[in-house]
Structure 1
Amino acid sequence: MMDQIDLGAFELGKRDGLPDALLVLLEEYPHEIWAEHPGFDGLVRFWLDRHLMFRQLLGLLTSEAEKRLDKKTDPMLFKAHVARLGSTLVGELHGHHGIEDAHYFPVLARKDPRITRGFDILDRDHHTLDDLLSRYVEAANRAIQADPGSTREIGRFLEETRGLEAMLSRHLIDEEELVVPIILKHGAGGLS
């Protein structure tokens, strides 16, 4: 039974998706029908757009670090971009996860008890991501403060960016496959 699931077995970074028992609504509401569903516009579209923004910001940060390592961008421009984009990413992720943990996940979990444990997994992801974001901020700050001729800290920043991107991607996919179907089935009542 899913309520007796060992959450540690589904830690972020160790899983390649959520257990099938938590994806029962995804079977009923597969990706292919999301955009055409009458409940898609509004909260679902907004929420997915936020996820897209996180992915795009990480892509831009990866590109900035790669360009700097290849000496294809000015060191000061790199530092300005990392400061602006990185700050936006971290601030928006913290706010997004805070709202999900405090409001969205509890409301959604009550809509369909079969997938409640999925929200426990996603909540644990947020704590893991908080630790990753702290490391990420440290790496970004070191890259910003590094000597313009040095690439060591930029390389480390790129590694942290890629690591965060991989972990966040897994989390976002799992979150979307749990949250979108439940909203499409039961509506967004109680979430706004």
Structure 2
Amino acid sequence: MNKRELQYLAKLPCSQRLSEFRTIEDTEQRRKTTAQVHEILLKEWKRDTRWFGIAHHLVEEVHIHFRQMFTSLMQSDKVNIAKFKECNRMLHHHHSLEDSYWFPNLKRLHPEFIDEIDILEKDHKELVRLEKKVVNGDHQALLEFCNGLLDHLNREEMISVPFLMDGSGGL
């Protein structure tokens, strides 16, 4: 996609933008487009006076840690099972909080996002399915796990950050 198309997607309302992403059939292209739009949005969020707070914490103190840890695991041709398990324990804790508190709260307060949040919950289940292959040394599963996680974090932030910044996330 060219810069103009990416800017267009970034300006769409969140639910419409995420729906547009799902029309991209090629998974790699969809993830790339999602990442590029996320980068545009992140720059906009950082310029907003409401950025410093829980939104900043989620993106730049929690999710960035997962991005860095799991991206580093992809740098090797082999699976570092011990390191993966260590990183994944932290991720499980984070996802359990989302599944038990954050996502149900968002669904209650913003029912228009139920379908999108359901997809995020399905992402969690897919990551659990892949982790079983990763801990058996499957490098391709590790790559899919990490790339899927990065895409998940981007989409989750696109939903969560605006609510966190405007105080309608219920925290």
Structure 1 position 89, deviation (Å) = 1.3
| Number of the residue aligned with 1:162 | 143
The answer to whether the aligner puts 1:119 opposite 2:130 as a matched pair is no
| Number of the residue aligned with 1:37 | 48
| 2:95 aligned counterpart, secondary structure | helix
Alignment of 1:78-93 (within 5 A): 82-93=80-91
Please give the alpha-carbon distance, in whole angstroms, between the structure 2 residues aligned to 1:110 and 1:184: 18
Aligned residues between the structures:
140
Identity across matched positions, percent = 24
Alignment of 1:107-186 (within 5 A): 107-139=105-137, 156-157=138-139, 159-186=140-167
Q: Give the letter aligned to residue 108 of structure 2.
A: R
Highest Rg: 1 or 2? 1
Structure 1 position 62, deviation (Å) = 2.1
Name the structure, 1 or 2, with higher relative contact order (CA <8 Å, separation 6+): 1
* CA RMSD, 1 decimal: 3.0
Structure 1 position 14, deviation (Å) = 5.5
Please give the alpha-carbon distance, in whole angstroms, between the structure 1 residues aligned to 2:55 and 2:163: 10
Structure 1 position 109, deviation (Å) = 2.1
| Number of the residue aligned with 2:10 | none
Please give the alpha-carbon distance, in whole angstroms, between the structure 2 residues aligned to 1:39 and 1:110: 23
Please give the alpha-carbon distance, in whole angstroms, between the structure 2 residues aligned to 1:110 and 1:186: 15
1:134-164 alpha-carbon deviations (Å, 9 max, x no partner): 221222xxxxxxxxxxxxxxxx43x232221
- Residue of structure 2 aligned with 1:100, choices 98, 106, 122: 98
Contact 1:34 1:40 in 2 (8 A): yes
Q: Scaled by the length of structure 1, what TM-score is found? A: 0.61
- Any stretches of 5+ residues in structure 1 without a counterpart? 3-8, 18-25, 70-78, 140-155
Greater Cα shift, 180-189 or 167-176: 180-189
| 2:122 aligned counterpart, secondary structure | helix
Contact 1:39 1:187 in 2 (8 A): no
1:88-122 alpha-carbon deviations (Å, 9 max, x no partner): 21101111111001000111223322222211111
Contact 1:51 1:172 in 2 (8 A): yes
Structure 1 position 42, deviation (Å) = 2.6
| 1:55 aligned counterpart, secondary structure | helix
Q: Give the letter aligned to residue 55 of structure 1.
A: R
Structure 1 position 130, deviation (Å) = 0.9
Please give the alpha-carbon distance, in whole angstroms, between the structure 2 residues aligned to 1:188 and 1:41: 15
Q: Alpha carbons of 1:39 and 1:109: their partners in 2 closer, same or farther (altered >3 Å)? A: farther
| Number of the residue aligned with 2:65 | 53
